[in-house]
A and B are shown apart, each in its own frame.
Chain A
């Protein structure tokens, strides 16, 4: 099956999956605590709680409540996000831009570092560089991310004063329009280098922190795949033809070693896009991970439902992209088989 046909077929079944997901999301919201928990204060009387339930239609039958919510979703009205005091759709747009920006920067760092380290170590198996690479990988995978983040802040914020937390300098942020919600892109569109440098400046620590763990995973996958590929017959054949080791590595072994690594990268990017709660909380990054954490802790069901639905759809697309990339990189893979 051609890639185009495969993509169309997958896209056609997406609506069914999304409807199924929305039903599950809605059902979970009704069993996972009171849907209006965020509005309930400890000093409220039972009558006041009942008034709130009435306002939010919780006395209607569940199917009616679901249809009201699903109808709203279809028209772009996903309710009110109490944790951000704005409509959910608006909040989602604001937050996804921040998370997307962070995820892209972290992914770029993680891919470059991960593939580089994995190749460097795999090509020098069981020698000192390989051991060093593995130590870096293991520490990246095992170091608690909140601790790493705090260490970076102590060094670069408190002691050196190079970086701060947050997403931007508020006054510079206010100087440009934000049509995309991605600050670096907005700054480029506005042609404002100061704003662009400011955006990058605030991205450095959170993206490095987020990339550290992902780098370790990519490097380990890349290394083991490369070691495997370097033992294959076609590599011996390439060497026998007299190709320099550098070309054997780059043109043959590394390309094939990238195939399983791409799967890890693709799915890993999906997870990064969801926003990493700890990184967003510690660096005060206003992304969807922190938004979701606030919503869960404060019982904001409208936000939780929107987030889960959004990430479900996101993963449908991420999986599709990964499958297509997999087929592109490895011609032996038959899509839809």
Chain B
């Protein structure tokens, strides 16, 4: 290359870059047209935009609707799978499953009431669809429902889906909620019939409405790998063929998932197309909301302050979530397993005075005001707000340092103190709960040392899944349950999921009594009697606690004020919203 050429290359490159940047700047793609209230038939394709060269600046600030016809939600992570048979409870895949797939019955927008969905009626004893013995449920399958691939919904397809989950039985999924209860499935004409092993009051609310019970196209599954025991179906991991108001149009990994209105939907069609953007950084989510590019964002209470008062932004704070923050107390600690800094004995939490001492020492107000930005509350021990049987007059732990001192004195730890490690996920309210606990205990007695071991989520999950647990205490929110039967079975029953891991039998003054009450309530179909049992249990657990519950959050989301009909239901999978109910105007 000649010297002449060499001199000009950088200039030419610079010129090209400048021209390209200039062209790009004038080719702004944010839609700035005034939307107004548009009916479903007038909606535009996902992300439809103005042609390059249209006016560019701050449509949101001027009150114009950005992206009319499209609802954009900014999520904080991306699904690992969208296969109902593979998605774990609380995993991001549930967000999309809730929009694209449907179940036999659904939890309605207004609260815990069930509404018909793919079953044309909600079974009850009164309408004869639940047998007198409470073991057989009959679901009349709605006619005229088609899947996104055009195939028809029948009772056989529903049975195929339930059997598929049970056959695949993937450990990372949530198949156990079906496997634990379902004795058999059958088809009777166009009815789907389920027989249970035992009566279960939570079957409809906790099992039939769960993501794992979603119904997918049998034709699509069979054409793409079918069903094999213990084997993941990679097609279903990344594709969705349901009956819901949305179809999964595209999944651009690391960027977004695009949902389109399903034109042949059997029910009320959605008004807006939808897009779920993956936005890992919370500051960027907040900026995007202010810019108007996002209609709602995954909202953490810790950055409410940044958004309050922002133009065109509203903070929705609704009912309480059903997943209160828990501090687990391990009563099943293996000898020699605790971190070397810990000075507590392995039977530390066997003593009810220690457990009560922790519950009486914790600074609940500081936690709710700080970590939850005031949008939370302690719960009665042990029924969260919104749960069947909840009553605000039920006994609730409050901070009482004198009572806490008495409890620890009785337990024999007051003079010598102790050091204990509590493990929690880093960077969120769980770590903050640990720090509040550490401060609370140090304030009660400087000889009470709490070490907060904050680790990334995968490390926490791995430590948390061990049996026996290698830590004395951990902090995490409870799995969300729509009905107290499942909640009490997992978190209170001495032989339940946590009861067996934590060794509740080593703790309760009368484990048999607790077990019999939990079992009785689980099969009791008389709701008034169930409430009585759960309230009796709540009284017992206040005297003999096996958890420390720092607080319960309200459903919380920041959204643009142009979103109409915005509502959250804590019983829906996170983020507890369904796009099909929303409009913009």
Contact = CB atoms under 8 A, between A and B. Distances in A.
* A in complex with B: yes
Interface of A: 33-34, 37-49, 51-52, 55, 80, 82-86, 91, 94-95, 105, 108-109, 112, 115-116, 150, 153-154, 157-162, 164-167, 169-174, 194, 197-198, 200-204, 250-251, 281-282, 284, 286-287, 290-291, 294, 297-299
A297 to B, nearest CB: 6
27 contacts: A33-B462, A42-B460, A43-B88, A46-B466, A47-B171, A82-B80, A84-B253, A85-B81, A86-B238, A108-B17, A112-B13, A160-B57, A162-B28, A162-B56, A169-B47, A172-B49, A194-B52, A197-B23, A197-B24, A200-B24, A201-B24, A204-B24, A281-B281, A284-B280, A287-B254, A294-B78, A297-B458
B52 A197 contact: yes
Contacts, number: 208
Contact of A52 (B30, B81, B172): B172
A170 B46 contact: yes
B442 to A, nearest CB: 28
Tell me which of A39, A47, A105, A291 has the highest count of chain B C-beta atoms within 10 A of its own C-beta: A39
A161 B467 contact: no
B216 interface: no
Contact of B89 (A33, A43, A86): A43
B279 to A, nearest CB: 6
A210 to B, nearest CB: 14
Contacts of A298: 457-458
Nearest to B48: A171
Contacts of B51: 194
Contact of B13 (A45, A52, A108, A198): A108
Nearest to B32: A161
Interface stretch (B287-295, B387-395, B514-522): B287-295
Closest 6 CB pairs of A and B: A286-B254, A299-B458, A201-B24, A48-B171, A42-B464, A200-B24
B250 interface: yes
Interface string B34-78: 000000000001111101100011111100000000000000001
B288 A41 contact: no
A37 to B, nearest CB: 4
Interface in B275-289: 275, 277-281, 283-284, 287-288
Contacts of B278: 284
Given A48-B171, A194-B27, A250 B456 contact: no
Contacts of B288: 157, 164-165
Interface string B218-240: 00000000000010001001100
Contacts of A160: 56-58
Given A80-B234, A169-B29, 7 more contacts: A33-B458, A161-B58, A161-B59, A161-B291, A164-B29, A171-B48, A200-B23
B253 A164 contact: no
B29 A201 contact: yes
B252 interface: yes
A283 to B, nearest CB: 8
Contacts of A297: 456-458
B217 interface: no
B467 A173 contact: no
A162 B25 contact: yes
B252 to A, nearest CB: 7
B465 A42 contact: yes
B10 interface: yes
Nearest to A51: B171
A244 to B, nearest CB: 14
Contacts of B78: 83-85, 294
Contacts of A105: 17
A40 B459 CA distance: 9
B458 to A, nearest CB: 4
Given A164-B30, A250-B7, A171 B47 contact: yes
Nearest to A48: B171
A55 B86 CA distance: 14
A162 B459 CA distance: 40
Interface string B261-284: 000000000000001011111011
A112 to B, nearest CB: 5
B275 A154 contact: no
A152 to B, nearest CB: 11
B29 A159 contact: no
Contact of A153 (B88, B172, B287): B287
A150 B283 contact: yes
Contact of A161 (B56, B172, B258, B465): B56
A121 to B, nearest CB: 16
Contacts of A39: 80, 171-172
Given A83-B78, A158-B287, A297-B457, A41 B465 contact: yes
A52 B28 CA distance: 48
Contacts of A80: 234
B253 A85 contact: yes
B7 A170 contact: no
B467 A198 contact: no
A196 to B, nearest CB: 8
Given A52-B172, A108-B13, A299-B458, A171 B24 contact: no
